[in-house]
Structure 1
């Protein structure tokens, strides 16, 4: 019996080192890249069709070094992504009521990474080229875990809706991605720019009000010298 789309959830596990954690932009980027990496690694899996027809439900959990290694070993079908010091793994969506025990035990709420290394907007990416930027609405006060889930929503929506040639070029270039939190006014300007991807609105299950505009993929912009 096919699982209803609303009951399918993609599990993402973010590596949070207790001694030397990655910066928040690195961790969020890794989580978003892992989410898409699970799709590109197994694009024919039936679960993607039903999941994509729903609300793209995701859960971002955290694991320290030892637990992260154990989960990877126990579930070799994962997709691993890195961004600087950030690391995350993700899986094909599965029923919300049948999460593997090693993954279900991992904490969801309270995931935070240090907000250092977050370059001011605009980012230092070239005006042309395959790089992408996920912008996050910082006025919502999202935790690192919540922001990572929203960034993953935004990147996945962009992959599904962008021109195939643009997506292929980004994949061939090594999936360059950066993450920026922006204040409300800056976020509104960024998402209204030419080439911006689908604007993500949260369902409101955790942390923020339903319908809140949270994240979007935008084209990189050169910093003024």
Structure 2
């Protein structure tokens, strides 16, 4: 299991900005999927960037922050090197890792805690599905960070041709929440590391939060 702690000032974090529209917010699972996909697509754009290598060698900390539509547009303009992903009505952008203590002002002022989207429609399992521990009742922001951890861990561990085939297919991704018993059962067959949280926000230390499940397409 891979453990993720809250970021410290000296380390690198990956900023992920989730659009939370005040009038028509997207469904939660779609927002979680958009955040996780933005995280890995930012990496896949420039994997040779030395900041990625340093970041991935540690706990690859992420900071999921929320922005309304107006602020989200400002962030996109201010950081043209972003990776932008939309899943249904949900949108998220992600950047390469940067020092936690020196986040640009525009990013630093965006709120991190208590990010919540409405339940919305389901996002059915795909050949690649992020499974979340539903018993933890994580906020949307916390769940998005854990989902991004799990997906990134899978990308680093999977064979390159498997990741390339997934990308060529359009990055299909399902999100599923399971009760604790089913989550633990499925985790034994996970396709990547089972994410274990340090428990500094929202949940108890050592809680297992997410993993990636891969299914074989039916002919």
State the TM-score, normalizing by the size of structure 2.
0.91
Higher relative CO (Cα under 8 Å, sequence separation at least 6) belongs to: 2
In structure 2, distance between residues paired with 1:116 and 1:192: 29
* Contact 2:9–2:101 (8 Å) recurs in 1: no
Count matched residues.
211
Instruction: State yes or no: 1:32 paired with 2:28.
Output: no
In structure 1, distance between residues paired with 2:216 and 2:210: 17
Q: How big is each residue's C-alpha offset from its partner over 1:96-148, in whole Å with a ceiling of 9 and x where there is no partner?
A: 101011111101011001112126xxx454xxxxx310000011111000000
SS of alignment partner, residue 212 of structure 2: strand
Match of 1:128 in 2: none
Q: 1:200 aligns with which of 195, 200, 204?
A: 195
Unaligned 5+ segments in structure 1 are 126-130
Instruction: State yes or no: 1:95 paired with 2:99.
Output: yes
Residue 177 of structure 1 deviates from its aligned partner by: 0.6
* Contact 2:191–2:212 (8 Å) recurs in 1: yes
Dislocated runs of 4+, deviation >2 Å: none
In structure 2, distance between residues paired with 1:148 and 1:141: 12
In structure 1, distance between residues paired with 2:209 and 2:81: 30
Residue 6 of structure 1 deviates from its aligned partner by: 6.3
Q: 1:76 aligns with which of 74, 80, 85?
A: 80
State the TM-score, normalizing by the size of structure 1.
0.89
Following superposition of structure 1 onto structure 2, how do residues 1-225 of structure 1 map, counting pairs within 5 Å?
Answer: 7-118=11-122, 123=124, 125=126, 131-193=127-189, 196-220=191-215
In structure 2, distance between residues paired with 1:163 and 1:56: 20
Unaligned 5+ segments in structure 2 are 1-7
